[in-house]
Each structure stands twice: as C-alpha cells, then as structure tokens.
Amino acid sequence: MRIDKQQIATINEGLLTDHNRRFANLLSDIDNAEAIIEKLMAFQIGIPSWALGAGGTRFGRFHFGGAPATLEEKIEDVGLLHALNRNSGSISLHIPWDIPQDYAAIKQVAAENEIKFDAVNSNTFQDQPGQPLSYKFGSLQNVDKAVRKQAIEHNIEVIKHGVELGSKALTVWLADGSCFPGQLSFRNAFNNTLESLSEIYSALPEDWKVFVEYKAFEPNFYSTTVGDWGQSLLYASKLGKKAYTLVDLGHHLPNANIEQIVALLLNEGKLGGFHFNDSKYGDDDLTAGSIKPYQLFLIFNELVDGMDARGMNHASDLGWMIDASHNVKDPLEDLLQSVEAIMAAYAQALLVDKKALEEARQNSDVAKAQEILQNAFRTDVRPLVAEARRRAGGALQPLSLYRQLGIREQLIKQRGADSQTTGL
Ligand code: AOS
Ligand code: ZN
Ligand code: ZN
C-alpha cells in the first residue's frame, strides 16, 4: 500500500494553526532556524530490513498481523515510513535474510517508494540450511581455513548483491569470539580475522566502504574478536582507506562514554557508520531515545562538531542506520519513534552555541559549558523537526497519522493476519 501525498497535506492542514503557533514561539528563541531546517530535510536514516518483522528474544517472539512477507513488502513498509517522515529514505538489507531474486523488480519497487539501498549486511553468525561448514566456532576467525573461505565468499556474494542494487557499503558484524578462557588464541583469532577481512576488502568496488562493527559481548561471553572500538579501529586502519568503524549504540560495556568514542573516531577519519538504538543493560535494541535521550544528544553534539571540523556532509558522509527490534510494539510505530528521536537529537545538536561553548572551555568555565549544552538539550525542538518534515511533504505528526489512516489495519487486510517475515 502507499500513502497518498494529498491525504498527508489535508491532515496537516487541520494541524497547521497549532503547529504555526508552536513553531513561531520556537523561532523567537533561535536565530539559525532556516539553516537547521535545511539540514533536517537532507538527513536520511537507513531502516534495517530485519526491524520490519516481529523482533524478539531467545525466549520467544510474538507475531503481529500484516507483517511483510517478502523483500518487496519490506521495501514498501520503509516507503510508508518515508512518506510519513521524509527521513527514512533507505533500507539496509541483511543477506541471506533478504536475498534479492529479481534486481530490476526490486529496484523498481524501491524507486516507486523513493527508497535507496544503504549498507548491505553479511551474516556469518548463523548456519543456514544446507551450508557445508558450521560457524559454531567462528567464521572469519575460524581455525579451519575452509570455514574462513566459506565466510569470505559469503561476504563477497553480499557485495555483489549490493552492487546490483546500488549500495555503497558492506557492514560486517561478527559474532566471532569465545565463550571460555583457553578456547582460542586471541592473537590467532585476530590475525585470521584480519587476513579474512583483507580478502573481503580486496573485493570491494573502488567507491565502496566496509564498516567493521564491534560488540562487547553476545553471543560469545568471554571474548569477542571485534570487541570494542579500539579493535575495530585496528582492523580498519590495517585494512586501508575504504575501511571504517561502525558504532552500534548498544554494543558497549555499561556506562561507556560513547560520545568520546565517536569524537575520537571522527578525529581519526575512521568513523563510517552508525547503528542507532537504545538500551538499559546490553544490546537491548530498544527504540532510539527511549531510555537515554541526553546521551543521544551528547553523541550527536560530537557527531556534528567532529563532522564540521572535517568539513564533512552530515547527510551523506556517514552511514546512518537504525538497528533496533523488539517484542512489544508495532515495528512501524517503533521505527517512526526512533527516527523522530534521532531527528530531535540532531536538531538539538545543531542548536548548540559552539562559539560560546569554546569560550567557556577556554576560560575553564565548567558550569557555563554545562549550561550551554543543556540549553540546547532542553529546547523543545519538535516544532522545528515537524516543520522540516512538512516542507519535505511529510506529516506534521507521523505516528498519529499512521494510526488515523489505519495503516496497520490495511496491511493486515492486504497481507493477512498470519503473514510471516523472513529473517531473524
Ligand atoms: C548485532 O548485535 C549487530 O547489531 C548487527 O548489526 C546485526 O547484524 C543486526 O543486529 C542483525 O542481527
Ligand atoms: Zn548493529
Ligand atoms: Zn546489536
């Protein structure tokens, strides 16, 4: 199904008086609104194909009706999100959960929905039916060269799918590691992984990037072979200029200072991609901004600052993707909320008075520095984000419009109450 642009405009009309009042109030407090709106309109966040089905935990998964059963339907779902918020213009595919069968047809559906293809993701953390060798003891790190070869070939296959669809990056997340002391040699695991990654790197097209995603623990609980940003940076530096670190917000040990990690990676020119989500404990994959919105803002503050320092384009020089999926909300509603939270944090970061902050730092005025950041964080930027969306043709209130139009009900009617999603 598709949402009619006119329908969005008509519903926006009814909300306009209230919106204009709130927007005018905010405008009286800020002076760079137009520049911020332009940036907000350009910003696009990739939607992961695996977040469109029912998420879950190892304890179970609860089905919801109207779930997308094919890749085409997943792209259509992202199209719905993008029609509503105009900031979800791409999809990040997971292979083999979403193997494109007919490239031309898939590209056609994507074009009709104004959706591009973000980074493609390989999967060597599960064994697939009929797969000759197992990844039980790791993939790119495996002591058996034949297993490593199989995993390398899979990644090259993923690149090929991405090339056909117009992706420009490969994300490699490895579950590789160990569960018990003594199980593996850290050095051998590192060296094998590096060698395997180098082979994948040589298969990258000239204008592609590879993102090396790190994760502290899970599914391995003693060591992870790309366990933190230092290890990812080590691989990325050794691999070459097309290799970058990918930061997933849920992949750190508790209380890690992610904003500092982001600042340093950007400073090194080695931050390439981002997976947004939120968490209370580990890799909880909860809705972005639902638990620690201040942290999300502080991260964006460093992102904006670090990108500006290097003259980078906020919208296109990093791969922005969501990586969240859970058990209790309608995934489309959840994704609308994540995008909204990300846009708000970005808008707040754009509000930070950088000159005053630098002055406060030079004077070691700690209290003032905190005030400046918190002033931006405590500004209700929702009218600004809504205005950017409205100007781009999206909804002033995406979530309520989603409900008002009965989109889930229509999807259930079309796809059935029992439709099953591929992947996860
Ligand atoms: C796993 O924890 C990672 O976040 C990866 O990005 C993974 O590919 C994705 O979450 C799908 O499982
Ligand atoms: Zn991730
Ligand atoms: Zn994760």
61: pLDDT strictly greater than 90:
no
> What band does 80 get if pLDDT is binned at 50, 70 and 90?
very high
Nearest ligand for residue 247 CA: 2
Q: Is the CB of 248 under 6 A from ligand 1?
A: yes
> What band does 108 get if pLDDT is binned at 50, 70 and 90?
very high
- Given ligand 1 and candidates 210, 323, 422, which is best to mutate, with the most ligand atoms within 8 Å of its CB? 323
- CA 94 to centroid of ligand 2, rounded, Å: 11
Helix or strand or coil: residue 188? helix
Widest CA span of the chain, in angstroms?
66
Tokens of 163: 């090339």
Tokens of 138: 């790791």
Least confident range of 46-60, 195-209, 215-229: 46-60
**Residue 424: its pLDDT value, please?**
66
pLDDT tens sequence across 272-301? 999 999 999 999 999 999 999 999 999 999
* 217 CB neighbour count, 10 Å cutoff: 15
pLDDT tens sequence across 256-266? 999 999 999 99
**Residue 57: its pLDDT value, please?**
72
Whole-model pTM: value is: 0.97
**Residue 422: its pLDDT value, please?**
75
58: pLDDT strictly greater than 80:
no
Q: What is the mean pLDDT of residues 17-36?
A: 96
Nearest ligand for residue 174 CA: 1
**Residue 222: its pLDDT value, please?**
98
Rounded Cα distance, 64 and 231, in Å? 39
**What residues have CB less than 8 Å from 169, skipping those under 6 apart?**
118, 119, 120, 162, 208, 209, 210, 211, 272, 273, 319
Domains along the sequence of the chain with CATH = 44-352 (3.20.20.150)
Tokens of 210: 């590879």
59: pLDDT strictly greater than 90:
no
Classify each residue of 346-379 as buried b or exposed e, where b means 16 or more C-beta atoms within 10 Å of its C-beta. Answer: bbbbbbbeeeebeebeeeeeeeebeebbeebbeb
- Given ligand 1 and candidates 248, 279, 422, which is best to mutate, with the most ligand atoms within 8 Å of its CB? 248
**What residues have CB less than 8 Å from 410, skipping those under 6 apart?**
1, 66
416: pLDDT strictly greater than 70:
yes
**Residue 55: its pLDDT value, please?**
72
Query: Which residue's CA is minimally distant from atom 3 of ligand 1?
Result: 173
Nearest ligand for residue 158 CA: 1
pLDDT tens sequence across 330-367? 999 999 999 999 999 999 999 999 999 999 999 999 99
Query: Using CB atoms within 10 A of its CB, is residue 13 exposed (0-12), middle (13-18) or buried (19+)?
Result: exposed
Q: What is the overall mean pLDDT for the chain?
A: 96
Query: Which residue's CA is minimally distant from atom 11 of ligand 1?
Result: 50
Q: Is the CB of 176 under 6 A from ligand 1?
A: no
Q: Is the CB of 326 under 6 A from ligand 1?
A: no
- CA 247 to centroid of ligand 2, rounded, Å: 8
Q: Is the CB of 92 under 6 A from ligand 1?
A: no
Query: Which residue's CA is minimally distant from atom 7 of ligand 1?
Result: 173
Can you list the alpha helix ranges (DSSP code H) found in 43-101? Answer: 71-85
The answer to whether 85 and 340 have CB atoms below 8 angstroms apart is yes
Q: Is the CB of 252 under 6 A from ligand 1?
A: no
56: pLDDT strictly greater than 90:
no
Query: Which residue's CA is minimally distant from atom 12 of ligand 1?
Result: 424
- Given ligand 1 and candidates 50, 58, 173, 228, which is best to mutate, with the most ligand atoms within 8 Å of its CB? 173
